[in-house]
Amino acid sequence: MGAAKVKIGLLTPESQEEFFRIYEKVFSSRREVETFYGRFITNGWISGAWKDGELIGILAWAPREAANNGLAEIVDLWVKAEERRKGTGGKLIEDAIVRMRRYYKRFGAVLSKVMLFTGASGNFLAARKLYEKKGFRVVATIPKDALDNPYGNDFLCALQLS
Ligand SMILES: CC(C)(COP(=O)(O)OP(=O)(O)OC[C@H]1O[C@@H](n2cnc3c(N)ncnc32)[C@H](O)[C@@H]1OP(=O)(O)O)[C@@H](O)C(=O)NCCC(=O)NCCS
């Protein structure tokens, strides 16, 4: 029997329960995660990856300010540890870019750049390699402690779209 296929799709309000259960461990409480991500879900800014009906990956994004700026941000990307290195993270990024383009078009604008922050430490090597492979480049280094990372530097990365 072949490996189960991974399905990428929109995280709808009907399918949000599993997402909340995974993310409430990262945030302080269920209430906080619902409050923070509620707007993302309502607007269709979270994509999920499902395998055998289980949510194994998440990508959350949001437009940055006015659509005319053409800039979107990937706010969060996660793939379940056992399912990594099988292409899911990459597929989630591709899927999100399609959705971002659609969003900008709705407002008569064009998506021109995607930005994200990621850690500069070894813990984020997989993420950095993936972003690099997808065409993201480091455009600035945020020093340790300047924002919310007391452990080390962060990178601000951007993908320039044609
Ligand atoms: C980053 C993350 C989402 C990647 O998801 P993934 O499904 O494993 O990514 P993919 O399988 O699509 O990886 C595609 C490419 O990225 C690179 N990559 C991914 N993981 C890597 C690793 N551990 N080491 C080196 N390169 C890696 C490779 O080039 C890989 O292609 P290849 O497997 O053909 O060599 C996942 O590792 C994760 O959830 N990490 C913890 C959370 C996190 O760091 N999120 C990002 C916060 S900014």
Residue nearest to atom 36 of ligand 1 (CA): 79
Pocket test for ligand 1, best of 82, 84, 156 (most atoms within 8 A of CB): 84
The average confidence (pLDDT) of the chain is: 96
Question: Which residues does 109 contact at the CB level (< 8 Å), separation at least 6?
Answer: 66, 67, 68, 69, 70
Ligand 1 within 6 A of CB of 130: yes
Percent of the chain past pLDDT 90, that is, above it, reads 95
pTM recorded for the entire structure:
0.96
* Residue written as token pair 């021109």: 112
Quick one: which of 111, 120, 105 has its CA closest to 151? Answer: 120
Q: Tens digits of per-residue pLDDT, 126-144?
A: 999 999 999 999 999 999 9
Check the CA dihedral 30-154-43-81 and report its sign: negative
Q: Tens digits of per-residue pLDDT, 69-103?
A: 999 999 999 999 999 999 999 999 999 999 999 99
Q: pLDDT at position 2, please?
A: 59
**Residue 1 pLDDT more than 60?**
no
Pocket test for ligand 1, best of 130, 148, 155 (most atoms within 8 A of CB): 130
For residue 14, the tally of other CB atoms under 10 A from its CB is 6
Angle at 76 between CA 134 and CA 40, to 5 degrees: 115
Q: pLDDT at position 144, please?
A: 96
Q: Tens digits of per-residue pLDDT, 29-55?
A: 999 999 999 999 999 999 999 999 999
Distance CA 115, CA 143 (A): 17
